């Protein structure tokens, strides 16, 4: 645990100076607040969250007569944790089987990697997992998933060409017939510039619902934490099309822009504060961790 937290901390402080570093030997004055403002904006926290957090910090510092910079740091960390807490939600594993999880995201976001990590984590929880390769057009994407499945003894429903919605439909039925606990439906990644190509996703969602009236139980968006504020546009677009139930935010081990979660929590740029189930903090199989607001706030403040 210590290792991925320190990776997250390092990633989030990539601007060269961690937010925590600003407090070292600092006086509690306007200059400090200004530096904090810059640091939060640089971390892609956005204006709304930055103003809300620093406003609350000033009030707290005044009320509690805090004069020590280290205590201001603790206060900021706690305020960020409080601000992020509404995004924290444990993924429910106890639904009647098969639970259907649809997964979307733009190319390169880390969708395939995250599906692999998730399948691994579900299996570790004694869940039987089936995957559906919803990308019927890109053979490479499909093969990557199939190879991953073979290595980990997870069956993959795939089809060369044809309708992704039909593959998803078959997978849900196969999941039920084979007594699976979780059916993960991968969908074709689109380019970040093709966010308008959402009809296919809507259709998959609709057709999955015909195989099982409760499905999809979860609709996840995998989003690259590196994209910072662009993540907001992605969340907004996918949410409008397929009504997201949760996020997987990847690559937080290598980015200084992880503050974007504060922008999500603040509903910046018209985004709905969609819960964050997991964060990606590396390329290894275990580098997908449940999102815990307190841990994240501590890593962000450094």
22 Cβ contact list (under 8 Å, min separation 6): 32, 35, 36, 39
Question: By CB under 6 A, is residue 251 in contact with ligand GDP?
Answer: yes
Half-sphere exposure of 88 (CA within 13 A, CB side): 15
Beta-bridge mates of residue 184: 101, 131
Question: By CB under 6 A, is residue 143 in contact with ligand GDP?
Answer: no
Scan residues 112-131 and list those touching ligand GDP (CB under 6 A).
112-113
Of 35, 75, 89, 108, which one interacts with ligand GDP (CB under 6 A)? 108
The residue (of 254 and 302) whose beta carbon lies closer to ligand GDP is 254
Beta-bridge mates of residue 247: 221, 276
Site size with ligand GDP, rule: CB under 6 A:
18
Scan residues 258-297 and list those touching ligand GDP (CB under 6 A).
280-283, 287
Cα 182 from Cα 229, distance rounded (Å): 32
Of 46, 110, 216, 259, which one interacts with ligand GDP (CB under 6 A)? 110
Q: In whole angstroms, how close is the CB of 74 to ligand GDP at the nearest point? A: 28
Of 3, 6, 107, 125, which one interacts with ligand GDP (CB under 6 A)? 107
Of 81, 84, 87, 109, which one interacts with ligand GDP (CB under 6 A)? 109
Question: By CB under 6 A, is residue 175 in contact with ligand GDP?
Answer: no
Question: By CB under 6 A, is residue 46 in contact with ligand GDP?
Answer: no
| Residue 15 is assigned to a ligand binding site | no
| Residue 186 is assigned to a ligand binding site | yes
Question: By CB under 6 A, is residue 250 in contact with ligand GDP?
Answer: yes
Contact 193, 185 (CB under 8 A): no
Binding window for ligand GDP (CB under 6 A); candidates: 52-60, 77-85, 120-128, 251-259: 251-259
| Nearest residue to 48 via CA among 293, 234, 302, 261 | 261
Q: 30-42 vs 46-63: helix axis angle to the nearest 10? A: 150
| Residue 253 is assigned to a ligand binding site | yes
Task: Dig out the tokens for 184 from the structure.
Answer: 């993960």
Euclidean distance between the first and final Cα of the chain, in Å?
A: 16
91 DSSP 8-state letter: P
The residue (of 34 and 283) whose beta carbon lies closer to ligand GDP is 283
Task: Dig out the tokens for 196 from the structure.
Answer: 């308008």
Of 157, 253, 297, 301, which one interacts with ligand GDP (CB under 6 A)? 253
If you count DSSP H runs as helices and E runs as strands, how many of each does the chain have, helices first?
11, 8
Q: If you search the block for the tokens 């997987």, which residue do you land on? A: 248
Indicate the helix (H) or strand (E) that contains 43: none
Contacts to ligand GDP by CB under 6 A: 105, 107-113, 189, 250-251, 253-254, 280-283, 287
Binding site as annotated, residues for GTP: 105-112, 186-190, 250-253
């Amino acid at each position: 645990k210590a290792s991925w937290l320190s990776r997250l901390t390092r990633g989030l402080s990539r601007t060269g100076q961690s937010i925590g570093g600003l407090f070292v030997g600092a006086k509690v004055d306007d200059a400090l607040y200004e530096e904090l403002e810059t640091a939060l904006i640089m971390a892609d926290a956005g204006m709304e969250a930055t103003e809300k957090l620093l406003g609350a910090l000033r009030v707290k510092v005044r009320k509690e007569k805090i004069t020590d910079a280290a205590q201001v740091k603790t206060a900021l960390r706690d305020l960020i944790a409080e601000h992020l807490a509404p995004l924290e939600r444990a993924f429910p594993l106890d639904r009647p089987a098969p639970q259907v999880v649809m997964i979307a995201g733009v190319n390169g976001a880390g969708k395939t990697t995250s599906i692999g990590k998730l399948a691994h984590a579900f299996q570790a929880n004694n869940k039987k997992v089936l995957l559906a390769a919803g990308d019927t057009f890109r053979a490479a994407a499909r093969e990557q998933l199939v190879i991953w499945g073979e290595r980990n003894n997870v069956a993959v429903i795939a089809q060369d060409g044809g309708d992704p919605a039909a593959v998803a439909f078959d997978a849900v039925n196969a999941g039920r017939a084979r007594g699976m606990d979780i059916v993960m439906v991968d969908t074709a990644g689109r380019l970040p510039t093709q966010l308008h190509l959402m009809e296919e996703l809507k259709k998959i969602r609709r057709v999955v619902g015909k195989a099982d009236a409760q499905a999809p139980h979860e609709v996840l968006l995998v989003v690259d934490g590196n994209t910072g504020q662009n993540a907001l546009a992605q969340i907004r677009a996918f949410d409008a099309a397929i009504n997201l139930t949760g996020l997987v935010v990847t690559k937080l081990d290598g980015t200084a822009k992880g503050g974007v979660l504060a922008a999500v929590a603040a509903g910046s740029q018209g985004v709905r504060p969609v819960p964050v189930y997991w964060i990606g903090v590396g390329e290894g199989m275990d580098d997908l961790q449940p999102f815990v607001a307190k841990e994240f706030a501590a890593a962000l403040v450094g």
